[in-house]
Amino acid sequence: EVLLVESGGGLIQPGGSLRLACAASGFPFSTYAMNWVRQTPGKRLEWVATISGSGGHTYYADSVKGRFTISRDTSRNTLFLLMDSLRAEDTAVYYCAKPLVPAPLRSLASWGQGTLVTVSS
Amino acid sequence: EIVLTQSPATLSLSPGERATLSCRASQSIDSYLAWYQQRPGQAPRLLIYDASNRATGIPARFSGTGSGTDFTLTISSLEPEDFAVYFCQQRSNWPLTFGGGTTVEIK
């Protein structure tokens, strides 16, 4: 069974940094591209970033490019999202998501339970 | 960026009725469209991928059709657990984008 468990969310001041983690199990983690998707307080879903299975290719939404960094540690089966220069509009529930097949740019078959990030002073 | 527009925003129906949800893309996305269901307090769940393929474990009452710019999700006979929010998502081009959602509520 695929299991994705996010952690690291919390309340952070504007301009601050936060690192999210997603512990993965139940599938060959190193072969799958992985994604971060967020859901705003208004319930809109927004794709944030994708990393290839090897970690050699990364893709970002324009709204986070240059501020967020997606990475992975295949030895620990863990996905990360380092978020710098946080803004109020980054407030959201952040989900990690596994695609249906190992490649990037795919439908998202498995999701974690999400971790809430609140950016506020 | 490909914009996905879902309609209606809210659908009020009774159990047993048929639900028809629409998703329109701002440009052709071939058949690269997925549908997700989200129940309150839960993460989205993949229902349909590549326009018409049911994901593992999804009941046959859910079906998807369409290609190009116009897509439809049909729930043939609503069960109580189907009252939820539904999102479409395209994977034709970066960035991945989602529609704004359709809420299927109990009439």
E strands in B1-107: 4-7, 10-13, 19-25, 33-38, 45-49, 53-54, 62-67, 70-75, 85-90, 97-98, 102-106
Report the Cα–Cα distance between both ends of chain A, in Å, rounded: 40
A61 touches chain B (CB under 8 A): yes
- Contact A105/B96, CB-based, under 8 Å? yes
Q: Which residues of B touch A50 (CB under 8 A)?
A: 96
Tokens of B25: 């893309």
Interface probe with B: pick from A37, A108, A110, most Cβ of B within 10 Å: A108
**Residue A67 CB neighbour total at 10 angstroms:** 15
> CA B91, CA B71: separation in Å to the nearest integer?
14
Looking up tokens 């329109």, which residue turns up? Answer: B24
pLDDT in tens, A24-75: 999 999 999 999 999 999 999 999 999 999 999 999 999 999 999 999 999 9
For A46, other C-beta atoms within 10 Å of its C-beta total 17
Phi and psi for B25 in degrees, rounded to 5?
Answer: -95, 150
**A103: pLDDT strictly greater than 90:** no
Average pLDDT, chain A: 97
Is any Cβ of chain A less than 8 angstroms from the Cβ of B81? no
Rounded CA separation B84/B104 (Å):
5
Nearest-CA distance from A13 to chain B in Å?
25
Contacts of A53 (CB under 8 A, 6+ apart): A30, A31, A32, A33, A102
Determine whether the interchain pair A47/B87 forms a contact, defined as Cβ–Cβ distance below 8 Å: no
Residue B37 burial (C-beta neighbours within 10 Å; 0-12, 13-18, 19+):
buried
What pLDDT, in 10s, does the model give residues B43-102?
A: 999 999 999 999 999 999 999 999 999 999 999 999 999 999 999 999 999 999 999 999
B49 has a chain A CB within 8 A of its CB: yes
- What pLDDT does residue B48 have? 98
What Rg, from alpha-carbon coordinates, does chain A have?
Answer: 13
Q: In the predicted model, is pLDDT for residue A8 greater than 90?
A: yes
CB < 8 Å to A100, chain B: 46, 49, 55
Contact A55, A72 (CB under 8 A): yes
Asked whether the beta carbons of B92 and B2 are under 8 A apart, the reply is yes
